Amino acid sequence: MPHEALRDGTDDLLQALMDAPAPKPQLREIGKVAEIGDGIAIVTGLARALVDELLDFGGGLYGIVFDLEQDRLGVVLLGPSGSVVPGSDVQRTDKVISVPVGDGLLGRVVDAMGRPRDGNGPIATERESPIEVAAPSILDRRPVTRPLATGLKAIDAAVPVGMGQRELIIGDRQTGKTSIAVDAILNQKDTGVACIYCAIGQRGDAVAKVIGALRDGGVMDNTIVLSAGDEETPGQSYVAPYAAMSMAEALAADGRDVLIVFDDLTHHAHSYRELSLLLRRPPGREAFPGDIFFVHARLLERAGQFGPGVGGGSITALPVVETQAENLSAYIPTNLISITDGQIYLSPRLVRKNQFPAVDLGVSVSRVGGKAQAPALRDVAGNLRVTLSQFEELEEFARFGTRLDEATRGRLARGAAVRAALRQSERDPMPADEQLAVLIAAMEGLFDDMAEPAMAAASNALRRAVRSGDGETRDLIASGQRLDEAGRAQIVDMARAAIAEDTNGRDT
């Protein structure tokens, strides 16, 4: 009897399987690795693959379809290729490369694929976004009308940045480019601006130093750090800025203001050149392929101030590029200068004079941010540029030992004091009202003929006086009003009193 029951059950199961609809066939395309190189692979047998599609090489290694040819694919690998050999299987994933986006990324350190690198567990986000999307249209954009304060006198007064602007930071090695970008992020504390620091081709210790500065400054909880270090494959360095921009776009679509730093696009261009030459793309000027301009243009065009139809947020981009021997006419620097809305040029000549930040106001320009600058700061900025340009001409002339009259010596002293007033320590962002007070004091000659230590002490005393005041200057700047003669005279009187009190205190 039990055997009969078992047989009947088996018959019923087989009959049910026979009556069930046949499963739909699954089509899987599997290709083969024909060649493997340093960060690239040549794949055959995937005739239906699409550009930017993600391919699975197995073992957690993925690649992006970069080149489409008649009988082969050029693929950029997104990881070490030690486990891949000619003849290995490659499968399509039927999706383009995407990264996780959303508020869950804030406070985290991730790689170019959005995977966590800080040891704090998985990222709490369920949304993904492709790294390559079309830039918002003209109708979806709005004018740049709000300032984005960096906390640096030399920038906020003379080369202002507005929310939604693309401002290039350019200069030779070791001139303080990363320092300016990090200080700009630190100054966004308590402003509600979300920040993204994208490190491309940087050393691991340099990125760790930046992360430490962000944590010490209390802004890490509102910042995403995306790192594709120099130890990573060139493919990861190539996709890193696009992944960071997608993360910024998701925040801007939620109505947030975002500051994104690309440090730096010189390494990004080098990675793209390396991949292109390995894939046998024809080299052009300085061995870069002809589409290198488009590579950076389609990235930076995604920044801007957006209208309510696309969230109403903004993305302010601070790309960094490195020059060699102050050569601003090199291929990549000229490309980026033409793409962006201005540049902050850091001069090695000023570095040698111990002028930090080493912003050369004669070459630096902001084509948009001046419209968003507070009128009180704008009034000071014009005289500031004129005073510094005249001082630099006289300084060159005075080097020859020519006898100078009293008026010329006075202009030299004033120019030296104004240039010294623009000096600022790292990690010491300054509010707009303190900047205004210090610059007006320098322009009025209150720092003339002061030694550098005495001037630094007097400047700090003036800043303390502004902080302990009634906040009238701060309210005037925030309201967008101009500084009249009475207000200027009030600041000068406050500066005289603060400097005199500091001098008397040091003398006693």
346: left (phi over 0), alpha (psi -120 to 50) or beta: beta
- Secondary structure (3-state) at 437: helix
- Secondary structure (3-state) at 299: helix
Among residues 117, 367, 411, 496, which one is catalytic?
367
- Residue 384, C-beta contacts closer than 8 angstroms, at least 6 positions apart: 157, 158, 361, 418, 439, 443
Pull the structure tokens for residue 496.
Answer: 């005289």
Q: How many residues does the chain have?
A: 508
Going 104 to 106 to 108 to 113, the CA torsion angle's sign is positive
The reply, when asked if residue 63 is annotated as ligand binding, is no
The reply, when asked if residue 87 is annotated as ligand binding, is no
The reply, when asked if residue 177 is annotated as ligand binding, is yes
Residue indicated by tokens 């109708």: 139
The reply, when asked if residue 355 is annotated as ligand binding, is no
Calpha distance 370→367 (Å, rounded) = 7
The reply, when asked if residue 10 is annotated as ligand binding, is no
Residue indicated by tokens 């990125």: 207
Burial category of 240 from C-beta neighbours within 10 Å (exposed 0-12, middle 13-18, buried 19 and up): buried
The reply, when asked if residue 39 is annotated as ligand binding, is no
The continuous run of DSSP H or E covering 19 comes out as: helix 2-19
Calpha distance 341→160 (Å, rounded) = 11
β-pairing verdict for 61-68 and 53-58:
antiparallel
Q: Which contacts (CB < 8 Å, 24+ apart) does range 268-274 have? A: 268/200, 268/201, 268/237, 268/238, 268/240, 268/241, 268/295, 268/296, 269/295, 269/296, 269/332, 270/201, 271/200, 271/201, 271/234, 271/235, 271/237, 271/238, 272/234, 272/238, 274/39, 274/234
Give the helix, strand, coil percentages of the chain, each rounded to 5: 45, 20, 40
The reply, when asked if residue 508 is annotated as ligand binding, is no
Calpha distance 64→39 (Å, rounded) = 11
- DSSP character at residue 162: B
Q: Which of 451, 458, 453 is nearest to 494 (CA)?
A: 458
The reply, when asked if residue 469 is annotated as ligand binding, is no
| Distances from the Cα of 49 to the Cα of 61, 62, 375, angstroms | 17, 14, 55
Confirm whether 28 is a catalytic residue.
no
Pull the structure tokens for residue 357.
Answer: 């930040």
**Which amino acids are annotated catalytic?**
367
- Residues within the annotated binding site? 171-178
- Residues within the annotated binding site for ATP? 171-178
